[in-house]
Amino acid sequence: MHTHISHSPDDDRALPRLANNRLLASLPDDDQAQLAEKCETVRVDNGEVLSEPGQQVRYVYFPIDCLVSLLGVADGRMTLEVGSIGREGMLGAPVVLGHELAQVRAVVQRSGRTYRMAAGDFVAEFYRMESLQRLLHRYTDTALAQAIQIAVCSRFHVLEARLARSLLITRDRLQSEKFHLTHEFLAHSLGVRRVGVTKAASALQQQKLITYSRGNIEILDSAGLESASCHCYEMFKDK
């Protein structure tokens, strides 16, 4: 269910440069400074819904240290993760293609900070700024390739391997071997029942690849978890 967003900007407003988001940090300094004038830094909380399919896109987000899960929704309740966004990316890129309505449910997977910009301001800057156009073309191409790979993975690979892949991607985006993911959230992300997540997580624990208690996950054997994962993880890492 959609949660109303009501944030107050953090005291640490957007820096003159936007180096805390790796996507924006790749832009020339002058262009970063121009975008920074339109950005504010806000805090988002775990479980918060930043977009809902069919609702107007009011803001675009550039995560700093939070993590956002992108969920495809069927019949209003069934979900499947089609991507995730950390400090390497952004939420809301399709607005520059004229998509004023959100296409996915975006749920905060890990609390933290993000730059936020009004969608209209972002579109205006996109058409003014050639460096941003080139960057967004590459980024949307990569995001589409990842969404396609997730669809293939969800259809053809066993749940244990898919869970291992998901945990590895989360680790890479958070740059931490320890993080919090509930059974319920993983079930929504992987498009399965909670009992399926429990069985898959137990199998990985029995192999001493992870520990998992009350949603607190620690990766004990990264190499072993990569071996347990499907080859999709390597494709994600390369991209």
Is the pLDDT at 11 greater than 60? The verdict is no
Which residue matches tokens 């499947």? 80
Q: Is residue 163 part of a domain?
A: yes
Domain count, the chain: 2
Least Cα distance to 208 among 218, 197, 220 occurs for 220
Q: Is residue 220 part of a domain?
A: yes
Same domain, 163 and 125: no
Evaluate whether 114 touches 92 at the Cβ level (below 8 Å).
no
Same domain, 114 and 187: no
Is the pLDDT at 67 greater than 70? The verdict is yes
Is the pLDDT at 40 greater than 60? The verdict is yes
For 88-127, how does the pLDDT look when each residue is reduced to its tens digit (9 = 90+)? 999 999 999 899 999 999 999 999 999 999 999 999 999 9
**pLDDT band, very low/low/confident/very high, at 15 (cuts 50, 70, 90):** very low
Least confident interval from 40-49, 69-78, 110-119: 69-78
**pLDDT band, very low/low/confident/very high, at 16 (cuts 50, 70, 90):** low
Q: Percentage of the chain surpassing pLDDT 70?
A: 92
Query: Which of 101, 127, 153 is where one domain is finished?
Result: 153
Same domain, 41 and 127: yes
Same domain, 163 and 130: no
For 147-200, how does the pLDDT look when each residue is reduced to its tens digit (9 = 90+)? 888 888 988 999 999 999 999 999 998 889 999 988 888 988 888 999 999 999
Least Cα distance to 232 among 174, 108, 146, 155 occurs for 146
Question: What is the Cβ-side half-sphere exposure of residue 44, based on CA atoms within 13 angstroms?
Answer: 30
Contacts of 166 (CB under 8 A, 6+ apart): 81, 186, 189, 190
Query: Which of 138, 153, 168 is where one domain is finished?
Result: 153
Is the pLDDT at 133 greater than 90? The verdict is yes
Rounded Cα–Cα distance for residues 60 and 47 (Å): 18
Domain extent, residue 79, equals: 24-153
pLDDT, position 14: 42
Evaluate whether 117 touches 35 at the Cβ level (below 8 Å).
yes
Same domain, 98 and 41: yes
For 55-65, how does the pLDDT look when each residue is reduced to its tens digit (9 = 90+)? 999 999 999 99
Query: Which of 153, 182, 205 is where one domain is finished?
Result: 153
pLDDT, position 78: 81
- The CATH number covering residue 215 comes to 1.10.10.10
Same domain, 49 and 142: yes
pTM of the model: 0.82
pLDDT, position 223: 96
Q: Is residue 16 part of a domain?
A: no
Same domain, 39 and 82: yes
Evaluate whether 52 touches 102 at the Cβ level (below 8 Å).
yes
Same domain, 66 and 136: yes
In order, the DSSP letters of the chain are ----------SSPPPSS-TTSHHHHTS-HHHHHHHHTTEEEEEE-TT-EEE-TTSB--EEEEESS-EEEEEEEETTTEEEEEEEE-TT--B-GGGGGT--B--SEEEEEE-EEEEEEEHHHHHHHHHH-HHHHHHHHHHHHHHHHHHHHHHHHHHHS-HHHHHHHHHHHHHHHHT-SEEE--HHHHHHHHTS-HHHHHHHHHHHHHTTSEEEETTEEEES-HHHHHHHS-THHHHHHH-
Ramachandran class of 179: left when φ > 0, alpha when ψ lies in -120 to 50, beta otherwise? beta
Same domain, 161 and 145: no
Q: Is residue 54 part of a domain?
A: yes
